[in-house]
Amino acid sequence: MKRMRAVWQSFRTDVDRRVRTGRMLGLLFVAGGFIAIAKGWDGASNLVRVDSQLPYLLSGGFMGVGLIATGCTLLVLASMRSERQAQSKQFEDMATLLSRTLGRMSAPAGATGPEAVQVLAGPETYHLPGCRVLEGKPDLPAITVSQAASEGLAPCRSCEPPRLAEVTEPNSN
């Protein structure tokens, strides 16, 4: 699970880089298009005869419009990538919450073992209910140790909640 999370994080940074690159290229193409149109207009304005002005206006105009259209397309694609990234993050969060809810519902009331030990899930770690790190954070969901391990959450270093191996293999004293 940690490996999958690391791959996802690297993918997210690649998508961020692709979005930024697309936006920068789009803006550069749009600016280049306006520059091409301005250069065509400048070249045509120096000539008196219309038949001499036409090549400047056509080449600068077509080149400029083409660059502007390409830049706008790149900007739209970057926006779509950014929105898709935000939706993927929301779907990932929803799937995590759904798995937590279903895991809580499937645990029997008098269960023992990894299904019975409840901990509080943070973004990266899980904690015991009285952990001092959680002061001022009342809305953390309660999950089991096995759920925390399946989500790749690390145990808190302050309150030292039980690890999955400790819960599944009780001390035989």
Q: What is the pLDDT of residues 78-103, one digit of tens each?
A: 999 999 988 988 888 888 777 767 66
Give the per-residue pLDDT at 173: 46
Give the per-residue pLDDT at 172: 47
Give the per-residue pLDDT at 112: 53
- pLDDT at residue 108 tops 60: no
Per the CB < 8 A criterion, the answer to whether 119 and 148 are in contact is yes
Mean pLDDT of the chain: 78
**Distance of alpha carbon 59 from the chain centroid:** 42
Task: State the pLDDT confidence band at 137, using cuts at 50, 70 and 90.
Answer: confident
Per the CB < 8 A criterion, the answer to whether 126 and 156 are in contact is yes
Over range 49-53, report the average pLDDT. Answer: 81
Q: How many CA atoms lie within 13 A of 33 on its CB side?
A: 16
- pLDDT at residue 6 tops 70: no
Strand partners, 153: none
Contacts (Cβ under 8 Å, ≥6 apart) of 75: 22, 23, 26, 27, 30
7 burial via Cβ count (<10 Å: 0-12, 13-18, 19+): exposed
Report the predicted TM-score, pTM, of the whole model to 2 decimal places: 0.56
